[in-house]
Every structure is written in structure tokens, then in C-alpha cells.
């Protein structure tokens, strides 16, 4: 039932539940009314009981109806509230009249005077009820509607007045003796009842609170009361009436019905839309419509019957009857005239709308067809010529299914039968897509909306061929790579899932190959992205030609491809396929007038029982990265150790992130000593990880050798920030004490320096800490395993930016491989750090001593300051000083120191060095490492050591070296 205006929540109920909920109250209501009727018919057993039940019984029933309606009126909202309040007031008047009547007859045992309070109370019963019905009535929306409503009301009222006057009221008016007040009271009561009946018959009502059943029950209660009043108006019944008679049962039933009316549950109605009409409901609405249309003529018939009653009787024609009948006839004539004009207007409007809709149908781009019950077309709109390319007249008379594609006819027939099997109210229309042959012989994709039309169907069809093609193209694009037209990741995953679900029997293998093009980034950087895209297209074509027809090749993104191989294959066969793919991809590509070459790293993963597509693809990815890490351009097969290695790296990543967050990383500093004076020229910051057992682990112990990624990047950023921050604190302390300022050296791998954000990190750290840039030395690590390929130019550019900022650059680990000379030639550096492997045998081996001497002489010729690493004994320090090495670092002087020990060393200012014996130093002993860098660069390099054709060397020898250091 829909919620009422009282604000109660909407509770959808079925008709069966509603019927069950109202059956018991109806039964009790019928029992009470029947019991009262039986008591009234038998005279209640005694005169006293009859008088009491005829007076106070009716008063109690009317009072109950009044209380029920008033309570309902207080609870509801909207226009229903005044209606229920008026019905309650009307019943209260009836209760007052019956109570007054009983006071005289039962309590005082005297005849009821005429007129009395009871007569006035009964007279006031009808007006509130009339106003309440008017509140609930449907109101016309046009002046003509109001005129017709008034005419219909007068037709009913006049007819009933004519009949009532002829039957009873005329005799009351002629036979009533007494004052005019008594005559008025005698006539007013039946006239008000006639008006009340006229409103009930002439108006249509609606439930303002959403419960039409309650309104209909209230109208029925008022109708029963009015019928009882009409019977009592008859002089025969009125003169012989006494309380407790059977006529009281009608008034009692009317009051009881009115008391129950506000609480009658209504029919279920869903908010989402009207329920399908039941045949009984449709018939009931048709009956109501017919009754409303015939009401004026029925009223005229009643008036005619009254005239015949007066004419055929042995009495003269009454003036009231004659005047009233004439006005009724006049009202009927006017009513018919208005109806005729209204029909003419409706016919014109209908003709206009028909012409309008005909023009819409004929001018519509959609094809409108009407088919009979046998499927034969009876109408085809002119749009068929433009849409189908067929003459509409030639289609009329043919069967609808003859136009449909044979493969779609069964589907169309099934949809039509399903649509017709449902009721008209359940599914107003259906939609079906099929192919229809055009006049040119091609099949068009058509979307049709089917509606019921009399006994057949009306179809509204449109050509959706372009939309179907676009949908197919969009679907293809959704599952294929736009560049190579290979399946993308989504479609490839579906193929892998299907292959895994189809693994049955021995000998059937599902293998997934992950391919990555080695060197593709260099092609993009050198030849451009257009050439790179064309290379990817050529590579995709080679892959498709190299695999079997039942295999699937996909592009997963960038330069990553994948191949799905399934069938009765062994591991060696799959390896042969992978090697063939690697060979095919590694062949040269002739693009843009040049020959380009890339390699391919391939990872293979075999499906295990119960494996998921994501797991298989992840295993192949791990195998591919293993192939890259072991030298590229090779094939690797997945093994569980790769997953364990991944888990180890992941756990290490998490622990390192936690160490940075929780402060478990710390810095140690190892002094760099002047071999002549023994003073500390610089300190090198070294990171340590404090383990849970309190041990300090070096990066080599918690990071794999050559490992790159987010872990080393995070460690490098932390090392730069922390080293600069602590160096700034020491620098401010040295300035306050007037001590010599000692720079800090930070060792970073070359691949970290070319990574994005390093320059910004250094610049931000210097700016936030206030450390002068000249007090920071970045040592670039390089060697045979870190050649960087095409990124060496990028490394030179980054180092030049750092030097322009004021930071000093050192080439770390010099002497470990042939790439050191290339780096020395191309990189702008200030300090040359000899690798410990070159220094290790300098005291024992003449060959090592000669090599170190040549390297030191090379550094002096290039104007670079030299630092020897790994000086662990006094003989090494003495030999290095003899060879002209200025600075050294190693366990002979001091190992990595914490803050407390470092402060002690810096306060002593010097560390023990071997005794004299070496040639005097060309520099004062108090020179620090950063000051020595500047002084060395100011020395004139001999002409035969200058490399004029290398712009990198000009950054050391030219005016750039004299760039002033920006203030801290």
C-alpha cells in the first residue's frame, strides 16, 4: 500500500496479504450490523431496550464515527485532512441529535418537542458531509468543465427533487401545519439529503491520502445514511415511527461504516509504476465511465418518471414539479450543446494530430512497418526507400520474416512470441536486432522496437550498421595493441586462462615466453620515437611469422612482448622456439636509411598444475629479468630460486625502508690524511645499517653487488642528505672555533648520478643545511662493470652542473679497468682516487710501484689532486709519499669513525705518518683537500698533456675552473 499523507512509511504489500488483513474486520463489521438489524427487527425484546438502542445506540455509533474521522483528520496531511474533519463533524451532529432524542424519550420519558435541538442537529448533518465530498471531488480544469459540472449537478438534483416532491415532499408541504420554521425544517432535511445524493452521483472522487478504498467506504456510509433518511421522510413511515424500529439499522450501519472507513487498507501500489491491470479492474473502470456518461440522461429519465407520475395520477400538476422539470430539460439541452461543441473541437484536434503524426511518420528516418497476426506487412513508411533501398509499396503484402537473414529469423520469431506471451501491462515494448537485406543485396544491421498494434505488431526500425561496425572496431581495439595490432595484455591474459583451463593429459605443455628488446631505449634516443615505433612493428611481424599458427603473440607494453606456446611439447622444444625468436629479433633492421640492431632477453615459465595466469606471467617476467641480469641477449628458464630471490629483495626493500624511517641507518666518517703534514684533509661519509643485534653492516653486506633499483636510490638520497647535514654542523663549529674547515666526501655510483632527481637532492640538501658547496666532494664510482653505455654523456653533463654549483667531483676507484681512462678523458673531475687494488702491492711489487707512479704523474699532469685508497700499512704510506701522492686514506691512519672519535681526531688535527724521506711537498702542509683541488686546477698544465680536441678537459683547465663558489 502506498504511504498515506499521515507520514506512515510505504510498505509494499501484495493483494493477497491485503485481502487477508481486511477479511476479519469486514466480518466483524458485518456481524455487528446484522446483530443490530436482528435486534431492531425483533423490537429488542422490550420497549425500554428498543428506545435505548434506537436513541443512545445510534448516538454511540455516530460518536464512534466522529472520533474515528477526527483522529484520522489529525493524522493525515494535505487536502484529505479537512474532508475527514468535516466527516467527523457531520457524525458528531448525528450523535448530538440521537443523544438529544434519547434524553427526551429514555431519560425524561416525555415526547420529543418539535422543533428541538435534535432537529437542528440532524439538519446540520448534511452540510459538513457535502463540503467534505466537494473537497475530495475531482475539479475541472476548464470553464466548460465547470459549466458541465454545474449542469450535471442540477440535472441530478432537479430530477431527484422532482421525484421526491411528487412522491412525498408535496404532501409534507401541504399537510404540515404550524409555524414557517417547522415547515422549513420539515423540507430542509430531505432537500439537503437530495443535494448530498446528487454530489455522490454526479462527482468523481479520489483518495487524497492515497487510499481510494477509504474514500469509497465513507461515500457508501453516507449513501446508506441518506437512504435511511429518505425512507424516514415518507409520511407513512414518519408518522408511525418510534425508536428501536428496523429503520434504525440503516443509520447504525452508516455510522459503523463511516467509523471503519478511515482505517480501511487500500490496494498495493508500487512507486516504480502502475501494476498491470486486472480484467476485473478494467471492467470496473469501464462501468464507471459508462455510468458517468449516462448520468445526465438517467437524471432526465428520473425527471420524466416524476412528470408521468403526476400526469397519470388523479392529481393536478404541481408548479414545483413543472418548474423544476422545465429547468432540468433546459439544463439537459445546454449540456448537450456543450457536449456537441466539445466533440467538434476534439474531432478537429484529432484531425490535426493525425495529420501531424502522418507527416512525422512519412518524414521520419526510421522505417515504420505494421504487420498483421500472420506476419504479413500491411504498411511500410516511405523511409524504407532511403534506409533499405527498397520500394515501400513492393514490401506491402509480403511476409516480415522474408526480409530477415535466415540465421536471425529464429531469434526474431522467438522474441516476438515472448513479447506477445506477456500481458500488455508487463512489457510495453520489445527490442530486437537482426539483419535485413537491402535493395543492393547487402545485409544491413537493423534495430527494431516492437509494439502491439490492434491484433498485430508495429515495428520502428533503424539502420545501425555503422554502430555495429564501430562497436566491433572498439571491441577489437580494446583487446589489441593499436601500434602492432597484436593482442594486448587483457586478451593475452584471457588466452592464458583458457590454455590453463584446457591443460589435460600427459605430454601437453603450456609455456609462456616473456620477451624484452635490449637496446631499444638507445634506438629511441638516437633515431627518434618514429623509428622506434616502426622497429616495434617489424619486431611484432617477425614474432608472428616465427611462431606456430596455434600460438599467441602479444605486446604487453613498451618493448615487452609475450608468446603463449601450448601443445605436446617438451622443455627442449620450447627452448628451441625461444632461441628461434631471440635469433629472429636480433637480426638487423633496415629503418630510416640505416641499419639498427637490438637484442632480445627471453624468460620462459612452464605452467604448473593449478597455476593462475597472473602467477605464470609473473614467473616468466622473473625469468626474463634473470636473462637481463646475466648479460642480456639470452634465454632463461624460471626456477623457484628466482621467486626466493625476489622475496629476499622485497624483504630487504621493506627492511631498508623501515631502517630509513626508524633511524637505524647511521654515518661513519673515515679521515683522508695529508701524507706530508699528517693533518686531516677531508673525511669520507660511509653509511652503516645497525642491525637488530647491534652490528653495523656495510652496504656491500646488505645490498647485492651491482644491484640497482629503489633500494640503492633511497640509500643514496639518505646518504647525501645526512652527510651534508652533519658536515654543516661541523663546519659551523669549526668557524666558531676558528679551526680549519674540513670538507666531506660522499661516494655515489655513476648510475645513481645519472638517475633523475640527484642534482635536485644535492642542491636542496646544501640549501637547507647552509653548507658551502665547496665543502662537498662527490666521488663517482666507475669501472669495467659500470660503463653506462650511452649514458656517459649524460653523466658528464650532470657532473658539469654539480661543478657549476660549486661541488667538487672525484673519480673514484681509478685503475680497476680499461674504462677508467675513458672516464678520465670525458668526465670533468677535480680529484683522482686510486683504487685499493692498485695500491695494495705498491710496497712489495716493483711493477705496482711503477704503475702507481705513472698514474700519479698522469694526475699531476692533468692538474688533478690524487688520493690513494686502502693504505693499510706504514710502508705503503711511505712509498706513496715518495712517489708524489699527496693524500691517502686507509686503516693505517684510521678506520671509519663514529662522531665521538671523529671529533677527537679533528681536535688533534693530525695523524701519525711515516718519517721524512720523501721529497718536499710543493704545497703548504695545511692545505685541505678542497683547497688543494682549487690550487691544482690553477697550475699550468704542460702543453704536451693538454688535449685541445676534448671539450671535457677545458672544464678543468679553462676559465670555468675559476668560477667563484656561491655563498652558503
pLDDT, position 249:
81
Q: How far is CA 797 from the centre of its chain?
A: 48
> CB neighbours of 816 closer than 8 A, spacing ≥ 6?
783, 784, 835, 837, 838
Q: Contact 888/878 with Cβ under 8 angstroms? A: no
Question: What is the signed CA dihedral for 527, 529, 533, 536, rounded to 10 degrees?
Answer: 60
* Three-class secondary structure assignment of 439-497: CCCCEEEEEEEEEEECCEEEEEEEECHHHHHHHHHHHHHHCECCCCCCECHHHHHHHHH
Q: Contact 455/373 with Cβ under 8 angstroms? A: yes
The grid coordinates listed for 577 are 622456439
pLDDT, position 13:
43
β-pairing, 808-814 with 776-781? parallel
Calculate ∠ Cα 9-13-18, nearest 5°: 115
The grid coordinates listed for 77 are 496531511
Task: List b or e across 122-132, with b for residues whose CB sees 16 or more CB atoms inside 10 angstroms.
Answer: bbbbbbbbbbb
528: phi then psi, degrees, rounded to nearest 5:
105, 160
CA dist 949 and 940 (Å) reads: 18
Q: How far is CA 348 from CA 2, 203, 335, 352, in A?
A: 40, 28, 20, 6
Residue from 734, 732, 758 nearest 746 by CA: 758
Half-sphere exposure of 641 (CA within 13 A, CB side): 3
Task: List b or e across 469-492, with b for residues whose CB sees 16 or more CB atoms inside 10 angstroms.
Answer: eeeeeeeeeeebbeebebbbbebb
Residue from 509, 663, 486, 515 nearest 603 by CA: 515
Instruction: Classify burial at 396, counting beta carbons within 10 Å of its beta carbon; exposed 0-12, middle 13-18, buried 19 or more.
Output: middle
Helix, strand, coil in percent for the chain, rounding step 5: 60, 15, 25
pLDDT, position 77:
78
The grid coordinates listed for 903 are 671529533
pLDDT digits (tens, 9 = 90+) for 98-117: 888 788 887 887 877 767 77
Give the number of other CB atoms < 10 A from CB of residue 99: 19
pLDDT, position 295:
61
Global pTM value = 0.46
563: which strand partners? 513, 553
> CB neighbours of 738 closer than 8 A, spacing ≥ 6?
none
> DSSP characters for 669-712?
EEEEEETTT-BEEEEEEEEEEE-TTSPEEPHHHHS-TT--SHHH
Bond into 127 cis (ω within 30): no
Mean pLDDT of the chain: 75
For the chain (968 residues), the mean pLDDT of every run of 10, in chain order, is 36 46 75 82 79 82 86 80 82 83 80 74 74 68 66 62 55 51 50 56 51 74 72 58 74 82 64 41 48 60 62 60 70 73 82 75 76 86 84 87 88 86 74 87 87 83 86 86 91 90 67 92 86 92 91 92 90 91 92 87 88 89 87 87 74 65 77 90 86 63 50 80 89 81 89 83 91 92 52 85 92 75 87 89 88 90 91 91 91 88 82 57 50 50 33 30 30
Q: Contact 565/551 with Cβ under 8 angstroms? A: yes
Q: Which SS3 state, helix, strand or coil, does residue 561 take?
A: strand
pLDDT, position 554:
94
Place of cell 586478451: 491
Q: What length is written for the chain?
A: 968
777: which strand partners? 745, 808
Amino acid at each position: 500500500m502506498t504511504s498515506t499523507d499521515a507520514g506512515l512509511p510505504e510498505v509494499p504489500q501484495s493483494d493477497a496479504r491485503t485481502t487477508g488483513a481486511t477479511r476479519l474486520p469486514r466480518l466483524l463489521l458485518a456481524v455487528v450490523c446484522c446483530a443490530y438489524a436482528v435486534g431492531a427487527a425483533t423490537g429488542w425484546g422490550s420497549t425500554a431496550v428498543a428506545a435505548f438502542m434506537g436513541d443512545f445506540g445510534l448516538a454511540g455509533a455516530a460518536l464512534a464515527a466522529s472520533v474515528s474521522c477526527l483522529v484520522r483528520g489529525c493524522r493525515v496531511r494535505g487536502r484529505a485532512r479537512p474532508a475527514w474533519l468535516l466527516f467527523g463533524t457531520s457524525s458528531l451532529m448525528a450523535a448530538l441529535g440521537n443523544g438529544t432524542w434519547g434524553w427526551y424519550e429514555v431519560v425524561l420519558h416525555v415526547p420529543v418537542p418539535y422543533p428541538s435541538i435534535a432537529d437542528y442537529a440532524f439538519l446540520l448533518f448534511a452540510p459538513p458531509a457535502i463540503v467534505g465530498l466537494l473537497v475530495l471531488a475531482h475539479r475541472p480544469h476548464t470553464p466548460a468543465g465547470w459549466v458541465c459540472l454545474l449542469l450535471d449537478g442540477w440535472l441530478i438534483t432537479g430530477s431527484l427533487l422532482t421525484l421526491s416532491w411528487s412522491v412525498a415532499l408535496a404532501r409534507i408541504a401541504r399537510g404540515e401545519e404550524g409555524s414557517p420554521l417547522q415547515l422549513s425544517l420539515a423540507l430542509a432535511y430531505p432537500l439537503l439529503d437530495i443535494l448530498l445524493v446528487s454530489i455522490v452521483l454526479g462527482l468523481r472522487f479520489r483518495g487524497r491520502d492515497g487510499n481510494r478504498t477509504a474514500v469509497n467506504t465513507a461515500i457508501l456510509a453516507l449513501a446508506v445514511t441518506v437512504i435511511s433518511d429518505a425512507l424516514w421522510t415518507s409520511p407513512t413511515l414518519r408518522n408511525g415511527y418510534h425508536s428501536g424500529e428496523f429503520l434504525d439499522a440503516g443509520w447504525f450501519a452508516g455510522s459503523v461504516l463511516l467509523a471503519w472507513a478511515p482505517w480501511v487498507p487500500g490496494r498495493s501500489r508500487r512507486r516504480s509504476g502502475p501494476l498491470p491491470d486486472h480484467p476485473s479492474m478494467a471492467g470496473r473502470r469501464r462501468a464507471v465511465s459508462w455510468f458517468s456518461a449516462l448520468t445526465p440522461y438517467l437524471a432526465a429519465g428520473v425527471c420524466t418518471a416524476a412528470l408521468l407520475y403526476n400526469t397519470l395520477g388523479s392529481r393536478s400538476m404541481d408548479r414545483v414539479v413543472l418548474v423544476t422539470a422545465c429547468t432540468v430539460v433546459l439544463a439537459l439541452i445546454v449540456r448537450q450543446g456543450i457536449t456537441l461543441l466539445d466533440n467538434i473541437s476534439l474531432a478537429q484536434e484529432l484531425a490535426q494530430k493525425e495529420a501531424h503524426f502522418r507527416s512525422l511518420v512519412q518524414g521520419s528516418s526510421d522505417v515504420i512497418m505494421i504487420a498483421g497476426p500472420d506476419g504479413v506487412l500491411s504498411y511500410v513508411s516511405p523511409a524504407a526507400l532511403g534506409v533499405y533501398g527498397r520500394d515501400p509499396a513492393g514490401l506491402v503484402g509480403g511476409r516480415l520474416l522474408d526480409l530477415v537473414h535466415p540465421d536471425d529469423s529464429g531469434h526474431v520469431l522467438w522474441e516476438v512470441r515472448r513479447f506477445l506471451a506477456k500481458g500488455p501491462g508487463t512489457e510495453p515494448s520489445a527490442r530486437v536486432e537482426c539483419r535485413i537485406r537491402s535493395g543492393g543485396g547487402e545485409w544491413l544491421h537493423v534495430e527494431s522496437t516492437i509494439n502491439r498494434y490492434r491484433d498485430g505488431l508495429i515495428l520502428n526500425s533503424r539502420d545501425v550498421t555503422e554502430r555495429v561496425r564501430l562497436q566491433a572496431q572498439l571491441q577489437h581495439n580494446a583487446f589489441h595493441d593499436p601500434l602492432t595490432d597484436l593482442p594486448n595484455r587483457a586478451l593475452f591474459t584471457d588466452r592464458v586462462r583458457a590454455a590453463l583451463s584446457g591443460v589435460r593429459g600427459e605430454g601437453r605443455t603450456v609455456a609462456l615466453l616473456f620477451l624484452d628488446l635490449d637496446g631499444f631505449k638507445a634506438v629511441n634516443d638516437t633515431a627518434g620515437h618514429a623509428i622506434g615505433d616502426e622497429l616495434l612493428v617489424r619486431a611484432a611481424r617477425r614474432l608472428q611469422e616465427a611462431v606456430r599458427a596455434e600460438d599467441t603473440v602479444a605486446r604487453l607494453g613498451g618493448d615487452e612482448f609475450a608468446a603463449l606456446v601450448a601443445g605436446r611439447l617438451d622443455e627442449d622444444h620450447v627452448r628451441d622456439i625461444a632461441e628461434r625468436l631471440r635469433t629472429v629479433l636480433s637480426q638487423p633492421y633496415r629503418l630510416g636509411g640505416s641499419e639498427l640492431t637490438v637484442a632480445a632477453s627471453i624468460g620462459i615459465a612452464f605452467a604448473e598444475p593449478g597455476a593462475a595466469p597472473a602467477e605464470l606471467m609473473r614467473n616468466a617476467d622473473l625469468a626474463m629479468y634473470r636473462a637481463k641480469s646475466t648479460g642480456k641477449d639470452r634465454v632463461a628458464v624460471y626456477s623457484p630460486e628466482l621467486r626466493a630471490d625476489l622475496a629476499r629483495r622485497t624483504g630487504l626493500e621493506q627492511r631498508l625502508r623501515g631502517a630509513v624511517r626508524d633511524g637505524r641507518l647511521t654515518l661513519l666518517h673515515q679521515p683522508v690524511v695529508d701524507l706530508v703534514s699528517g693533518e686531516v684533509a677531508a673525511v669520507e661519509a660511509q653509511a652503516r645499517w645497525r642491525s637488530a643485534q647491534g652490528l653495523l653492516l656495510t652496504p656491500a653486506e646488505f645490498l647485492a653487488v651491482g644491484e640497482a633499483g629503489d633500494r640503492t636510490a633511497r640509500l643514496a638520497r639518505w646518504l647525501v642528505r645526512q652527510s651534508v647535514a652533519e658536515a654543516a654542523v661541523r663546519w659551523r663549529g669549526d668557524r666558531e672555533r676558528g679551526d680549519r674547515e674540513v670538507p666531506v666526501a660522499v661516494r655515489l655510483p655513476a648510475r645513481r648520478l645519472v638517475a633523475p632527481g640527484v642534482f635536485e637532492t644535492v642542491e636542496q640538501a646544501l640549501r637547507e643545511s647552509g653548507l658551502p658547496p665547496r665543502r662537498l666532494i662527490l666521488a663517482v664510482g666507475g669501472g669495467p662493470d659500470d660503463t653506462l653505455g650511452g649514458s656517459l654523456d649524460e653523466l658528464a653533463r650532470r657532473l658539469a652542473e654539480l661543478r657549476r654549483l660549486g661541488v667538487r667531483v672525484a673519480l673514484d676507484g681509478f685503475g680497476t679497468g680499461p674504462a677508467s681512462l675513458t672516464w678520465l678523458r670525458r668526465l670533468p673531475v677535480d680529484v683522482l682516487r686510486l683504487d685499493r687494488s692498485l695500491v695494495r702491492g705498491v710496497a712489495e711489487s716493483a711493477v705496482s710501484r711503477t704503475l702507481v707512479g705513472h698514474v700519479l704523474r698522469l694526475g699531476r699532469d692533468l692538474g688533478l689532486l690524487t688520493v690513494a685508497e686502502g693504505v693499510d700499512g706504514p710502508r705503503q704510506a711511505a712509498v706513496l709519499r715518495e712517489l708524489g701522492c699527496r693524500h691517502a686514506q686507509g686503516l693505517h691512519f684510521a678506520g671509519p669513525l663514529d662522531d665521538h672519535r671523529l671529533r677527537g681526531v679533528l681536535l688533534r688535527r693530525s695523524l701519525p705518518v711515516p718519517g721524512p724521506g720523501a721529497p718536499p711537498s710543493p704545497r703548504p702542509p695545511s692545505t685541505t683537500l678542497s683547497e688543494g683541488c682549487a690550487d691544482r686546477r690553477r697550475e699550468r698544465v704542460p702543453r704536451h698533456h693538454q688535449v685541445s680536441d676534448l671539450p671535457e678537459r677545458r672544464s678543468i683547465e679553462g676559465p670555468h675552473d675559476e668560477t667563484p663558489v656561491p655563498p652558503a
